[in-house]
Structures are given as structure tokens and as C-alpha cells.
Structure 1
């Protein structure tokens, strides 16, 4: 789980996501310890992550090629996820001008956990990434245009990448001026999740 940031405004929505994916192998308890140190901010650089993993005997594979945000029919969609003991969990954010929804996915089941309208920032990610991002938003956002929101998001992405090895320097940013009903896309993704779950049985 790394970082997705979105701004939902009356005149459009903006979303960015980093591209880091980290795969761990080894003893469960040691892996849990390494993940805890990574996600609470104790491990800042890639070099420190590799060094710490070697110290406690955990294999780590890092790649910065995973696209976590996209635009689908005028709706921005971003996702963060994690795998624990073979169980894949993800949280997905849907946004268009003036509206958003957040859904959790596990074992092919989708649960909408939040919906809203209006103007707001939303952050998905691990503890340290969210902490850094929320501080950047609080310190820099004084209201403004979608362009101002983009500047705030870019600053937050860059600051998070310098603060934790869980976030890549590379990121993808997408925008939409459209205002769309989110329900058809939510229903479509719920059906797809069920179909994937059924096909895996």
C-alpha cells in the first residue's frame, strides 16, 4: 500500500498515484516487522530498505511500474492494495467533479465505505504517506483553482517520496472536468469482482 491523492472540486477532479510496488518474501514475523518499520516512517531510502531487509533475512523486490490511477469514462479511479497471507485487499477511490466514492475489495466482494459531494482532498495510503500528505495539504492549500490543487498534489507526492521508501519518485497524474454519476461504474466493478472470484473457485 503506497499513495493515491485526489482533489474533488466543483469544476473538476485531479488524482495522482505513485508507481511503487514492493514484494516481500521470508518469515512472516520478520516480514511484518519490516513492513511496520517501512510504513511508520523509520525507513526513508531505498538503500535503507535493502539494508534492513538483509539484516533480518527478508527478500524484497521493488519496482516502480505499477499504474494506480486512471480515467474511465470521465471518472478518475485510484487504487491502493496489500497482500497478507495470500489474501488480497484493496481500497479504490472514484472521483469526478463534485463527487466521490471509496470502496473496499476483498475476495471478490466490494463494499462501498464512503460517498460524498462537494470540495475536498482524499488520501489513500500507508500511515507515513498519509501523514506527510495531509501535512502538505494543510500547510499549502488555501483554496483556489484546479491548477492550484495540482500544485498541492505534486508537492505532496514529491515530499512523500523523499520521506518514505514506500513511495516512488515517479507518479501518474490524471484530471477530468466531467461530473458523472458514479453508480454505474461502481456496479460494473462490483460485478467484475464477483466474476473474478467465481472463476478462481
Structure 2
């Protein structure tokens, strides 16, 4: 779903990358038909892609704001991703003056790596790579400056975007040109990759924790009491009402920590003055917390949930 073009030479590095991401939702076989038609070049525009998706009953989510190339100091980084149901595979290129590394990652683990001193490297599907290489041969000159290379890459990105909806009309282009020999370039690349992969590992751990917390929030939210018996009045002092929780009911704070269990007490407040008696039933009716006998409104600063049994 991407096109990233990288030039690495002794005078500098130029990297261009499109910004498109396409999500396919629908029948697996129909998705594969649509993807094959797009990657083979049969579908040439976004409009054609949307029309064909509708014919195949596939829902598409198309965005053009993905950052596929970026700059880290004197190093440029380009990345393409392949997501499966079990993992995310990444292919990255790190480039600077006089050297580059190509790295393949599974999760945040480096699986393969290769390096070189100078090259033009193209990441993309078969069709986009063919178009890009064709236009490179068309526009390339034997003596070309870093500035001219950036202009060539810009033309190529524009040309490819007109030929396939897998590449966006929007793109990023970066250049760096530090004065480095090959040994210095390799050292800068090595330290940058180590730091960048560590950042990826940290991000993945944070994402994992966030997803686990979100999953827990969903599970806990399903236990929130929205209808039924809460407990019985134990004591009333002014506008404060002490309630003993009924079997199967517990009170939690906003972090889902248990504050009071069934048979224990919590304090509620009357929103309107009312004469309550010990043993009066407290309920939630139509998501409103109240005393059952006269519908006296009550409030509390805890979450009332069903116990997890």
C-alpha cells in the first residue's frame, strides 16, 4: 500500500514516501479480488477503486495522513508495514550520506538486515515499483545533485499516484547531506537503529498496556448496575444516607478498585429532604438511583456494579 524511494550517495540521502493507508472490510475472497485488481494496475484511480469495492460489497477506509518517512538527526527513515492477525511486520530503510541499512522487523525484533554504501532503493508493491523504476530511468541523469534528485522523486511520486490508487497524491520528501565517510555513516546508522527499535519496543509495550486497560474497561463497564436492587437504608444523618449493599452488588472507584463489597456499607446523599426509615429499599430504576418507596433521588461518588461471579 506504499511507495518509498530512497537515494543514498556520498553527498547525501533523499527519501520520498506517500501517505496513503487503505483498510478493507468484507468477505475475504472478495477482498483478495479487489486487492489483486488494484495491485496489478487494473484499477487506476481512487474513484474506480471505490466503484469496484461497492460492486464487491467491500467497505474501504482510505486515509492520506500516514507518516511513512521521517528524519532522525542526520538519518532518514522509511517504513512499510504488513499487518496480519497475529503480528505487524515492518520493513525499514535507514539512510544518510555514504551508507544505508535495510531492516526487517517482526514486532520489535530485528529478523533480517542488509547494508550498503550507495544505492537507489524502492519499497512498494510490484506494480508501483515497476512504474517508479521506469520513471527513474526516464528522468535520471549521470550527474545529479541532491536538490535535483528531490525534484525527480517529486515527479515520480506524482506520476505513480496518477496510475494507481494504492499511492496517495500527498507525499513527504526529506533530504540530509552531512559530511561523513562510510565508517562514520555506519556508526550513525547503527546507533540510530538501536535507539529507534528501543523506542518501538517501548511504544509496543505502552500500546499493549493501553489495549489491556481498554479491554478491562469494556469488561467492567458491562457490570455497571443500571437497573435493580442496590441495598437497604441502615442509617440517616442529615442528607447523608448509609446503605448496606445487597447480595451481588459492590461499589468501585473510577479505577475499578473495590471499595465496598456486598453486606458492607456506602454513604449516599439525598438530593431532596425526605423522611427515610431503616430498611427502606434503595434501587436503580431507569438508570436513576433512588429510594423505592417514594422515588427520593440519591447520589453517590462510587460506581455500583454487579459482583463478578
Residues 1-201 of structure 1: pairs in structure 2 closer than 5 A: 1-118=1-118, 120-143=119-142, 144-178=144-178, 179=180, 180=185, 181-196=188-203, 200=208
How many Å separate the matches in 2 of 1:41 and 1:85?
A: 27
- Aligned-pair distance for 1:197? 5.1
Bigger radius of gyration among the two: 2
**Alignment length, in residue pairs?**
200
Per-residue deviation, residues 26-48 of structure 1 (Å, max 9, x unmatched): 12222122112111211110111
How many Å separate the matches in 1 of 2:24 and 2:65?
A: 17
Unaligned runs of 5+ in 1: none
- Structure having the higher helix fraction is 1
How many Å separate the matches in 2 of 1:107 and 1:177?
A: 31
How many Å separate the matches in 2 of 1:21 and 1:106?
A: 20
Unaligned runs of 5+ in 2: 210-309
How many Å separate the matches in 2 of 1:20 and 1:102?
A: 22
- SS, match of residue 35 in structure 1: helix
Deviates more, 1:49-58 or 1:33-42: 33-42
Deviates more, 1:24-33 or 1:123-132: 24-33
Asked if 2 retains the 8 angstrom alpha-carbon contact of 1:101 and 1:112, the reply is no
How many Å separate the matches in 1 of 2:135 and 2:170?
A: 18
- Aligned-pair distance for 1:108? 2.4
